[in-house]
Structure 1
Amino acid sequence: MTDTSTRSGTVPGVGLVHAPLALLPMPFPEHYWRQACELTPIFNELVDCVSLDGKFLQDSLSRTKKVDAFTSRLLDIHSEMLEINKKEDIRLGLHRSDYMLDAETGLLLQIELNTIASSFPGLSTLVSKLHRNLLSHYGNRLGLDSRKVPGNSAVSQFAEALAKAWKEYDNSSSVVLVVVQPEEHNIGGHTVAVVYFRAGYSPNDYPSESEWRARFSIEKSNAIKCPSISYHLAGTKKIQQELAKPNVLERFLENEEDIAKLRKCFAGLWSLDNPEGVNGAMERPEIFVLKPQREGGGNNIYGEDVRKTLVKLQQAGSEELAAYILMQRIFPKTSLAYLVRKGKCYQDQVISELGIYGAYLRNKDKVVMNAQPGYLMRTKVSSSNEGGVAAGFAVLDSIYLI
């Protein structure tokens, strides 16, 4: 990771720094770990099914479109693909579903499902290896067993999924294009088989009409998109809230056991036209989170700011309410951990968030891959609302099964 502080380049050794990490893996109950892993292939299938229902996506996000310019542009591209009857026969998804253990209910609850630019498969794999290596050398002194740190093959299986998608495209001279921030990269005259979006989830990634034209051209092309515009929309906060409504999962899935497993991990979710949720948040804002339709961290609203924002939105008019959803705030149990940042180790009370990666590849009726490649554990000080690693709030961690 690069150090962008003012010291970088002026003091020897600070131009590059290690990624922030926990010194030891975080204890995590094995039965919750298995539950999260079992959910992954079901969520993979759900995203694929939702992506094929254009009417559901357009209808669910219709009110959001009126007040959120970014979502509106994405929906416009999606609508044009529907109009020209653009089919995505080969569909690739590289997802990550994030969870926390709620101390009060004892439930593993989903925070969100990421369908675009699911970050840290590489670093999470390395941290898991680091912790296993540390415990193999010092585990006896600590009373810890390195075998209880689960293996993590997220980066290799993500790469395998991209390679398999390229193979399904069936053109040996084609290439895989990765869309990154901030500049574009020229790929010459090659045919593009797969486009992987490591960027494109934020309005900041579209500073001009050129970027929107590029996104439209990619979507209209025959390349396999990861994600396609429909997969991208299927991962929005509003769709997460819609799927949590009674009888909506049944629209996409038939297996009753799978539906029950998904529903068990859903936290409380409300649209802002739901009086029950809004009234509850006005009375006790500390137990809710107000979420806009944004990815990338740093956008959610907590505590007393929830009430203040709701008042402003209500004064602005009913349409403005559609830009947000309300979510039950999850309160994990805190624990003491050693955190390492910029070469310094310190102790603090922390909470953790578990992300489970999913890889899904389908060619028409054939499911080529539906896997749970690995995981991402992020640990942050318990006093912090935000949890981004790159933003400096959290550190990378791994799991120690108990």
Structure 2
Amino acid sequence: MFFPSWLPSAVVMMIVQAEERNMYDQYWLINHLKESHGVMTIRKTLAQVEAEGLVLPNGTLVVDGRPVAVVYFRAGYAPTDYPSEVEWSARLLIEQSSAIKCPSISYHLVGTKKIQQELAKPSVLERFLDNEEDIAKLRKCFAGLWSLDNEEIVKSAIEKPDLFVLKPQREGGGNNLYGHDLRETLIRLKNEQGEALAAYILMQRIFPRASLTQLVQGGVCFEELSISELGIFGSYLRNKDKVVINNQCGYLMRTKVSSSNEGGVAAGFAVLDSILLTDE
């Protein structure tokens, strides 16, 4: 853990929702940090941070009288997490401190759908990579991504909505639009114009191969066609322009029935799964 030696009492602060549904894995992490590393964790909402927090002249973030070394955001990713200026003030306070943020506001924004769309534009990857072979491998993995100011693509999506997905700048499941809902939303957004168009991107719909899977629901086992999505975890830590850590550190496999358009685990559309490698 990256705790300053001059702050032996420093804690990890976990940012949570006021009515948290995902508390059990949070407490598992809290117990692991305590038992394996002797590190204390406090759980706070953004409103509590605003009420109890301050930043000292040396940059130290203090919340409820405790110096905070790491801020771990388990909330703060949805508009509903910022119902008032109080929550925005708390986010600004955290960003202005020297505490390690997981993620910082810049890293948070890099994960938005809009950045994915920007990276898919011609010549953009070349700003970050020099090896042409690596660039070609990355581009091969990209689906089509477009902003809604591309009138030709928007027209195609209205005519053939089943070939596209309309995605807002949101995390988690339950937000994407397909088929009839996609067409109707695009027509409405075209009529409204303005900033509403920037809230979404269009993505080429992917049709992965489905496989027969054993599933259990309500204590009953049954077979259903399902599809899986593999995500690779990365750990990244920097101090200004100096990169301290940039490693791959595990994976997350999500599986859902192939008839479901959504894929969020916490939202109830998918389940956590594991990989079985074969020589087929």
- Name the SS of the counterpart of 1:340 in structure 2: strand
Superposition deviation, residue 365 in structure 1 = 5.3
Unaligned runs of 5+ in 2: 19-43, 53-62
- Judged with a 3 Å threshold, the aligned counterparts in structure 2 of structure 1 residues 363 and 380 are, in CA distance, closer, same or farther, namely same
Match of 1:179 in 2: 15
**1:154-206 deviation per Cα after TM superposition (whole angstroms, max 9, x unaligned):** xxxxxxxxx2x335x86433221111122636753222111111110011112
1:289 aligns with 2:165: yes
Q: Which of 88, 107, 131 pairs up with 1:255? A: 131
1:244 aligns with 2:81: no
Q: Which of 330, 339, 358 pairs up with 2:234? A: 358
Distance 1:272 1:228 in 2: 28
Flag the structure with more relative contact order, 1 or 2, with Cα contacts below 8 A and sequence separation at least 6.
Answer: 1
TM-score, scaled to structure 2: 0.79
1:379 aligns with 2:264: no
**1:133-166 deviation per Cα after TM superposition (whole angstroms, max 9, x unaligned):** xxxxxxxxxxxxxxxxxxxxxxxxxxxxxx2x33
Distance 2:235 2:91 in 1: 23
Contact 1:192 1:223 in 2 (8 A): yes
Contact 1:359 1:371 in 2 (8 A): yes
Amino acid at match of 1:379: T
Distance 2:6 2:129 in 1: 30
Superposition deviation, residue 327 in structure 1 = 0.1
Contact 2:172 2:267 in 1 (8 A): no
Q: Identity percentage over the alignment? A: 70
- Name the SS of the counterpart of 2:80 in structure 1: helix
Q: Which of 262, 276, 279 pairs up with 1:400? A: 276
Match of 2:224 in 1: 348
Amino acid at match of 1:175: V
Superposition deviation, residue 272 in structure 1 = 0.8
Higher strand share goes to which structure? 2
Deviation >6 Å, runs of 4+:
none
Contact 1:288 1:302 in 2 (8 A): yes
Superposition deviation, residue 377 in structure 1 = 1.0
Q: Which of 94, 103, 110 pairs up with 1:234? A: 110
**1:314-369 deviation per Cα after TM superposition (whole angstroms, max 9, x unaligned):** 11125422211000001111111111234322211111111111111223454332
Match of 2:91 in 1: 215
Match of 1:166 in 2: 3
Superposition deviation, residue 370 in structure 1 = 1.9
Superposition deviation, residue 401 in structure 1 = 1.1
- Judged with a 3 Å threshold, the aligned counterparts in structure 2 of structure 1 residues 284 and 171 are, in CA distance, closer, same or farther, namely same
Contact 1:339 1:395 in 2 (8 A): no
Mapping 1:296-335, distance limit 5 Å: 296-335=172-211
Match of 1:133 in 2: none
**1:68-90 deviation per Cα after TM superposition (whole angstroms, max 9, x unaligned):** xxxxxxxxxxxxxxxxxxxxxxx
Distance 2:240 2:189 in 1: 44
Match of 1:3 in 2: none
| Segment of structure 1 superposing worse, 303-312 or 246-255 | 246-255
Unaligned runs of 5+ in 1: 1-162
Higher helix share goes to which structure? 1
Distance 1:312 1:212 in 2: 30
- Judged with a 3 Å threshold, the aligned counterparts in structure 2 of structure 1 residues 281 and 338 are, in CA distance, closer, same or farther, namely same
Mapping 1:3-402, distance limit 5 Å: 163=1, 165-166=2-3, 171-182=7-18, 184=45, 187-364=63-240, 366-402=242-278
Distance 2:250 2:80 in 1: 29
Superposition deviation, residue 390 in structure 1 = 2.3
Amino acid at match of 1:292: P
**1:357-395 deviation per Cα after TM superposition (whole angstroms, max 9, x unaligned):** 111122345433222111111111111101122222212
**1:227-280 deviation per Cα after TM superposition (whole angstroms, max 9, x unaligned):** 111111111111110111001122233333332232221110011111232122
Superposition deviation, residue 221 in structure 1 = 1.1
Amino acid at match of 2:10: S
Contact 1:166 1:176 in 2 (8 A): no
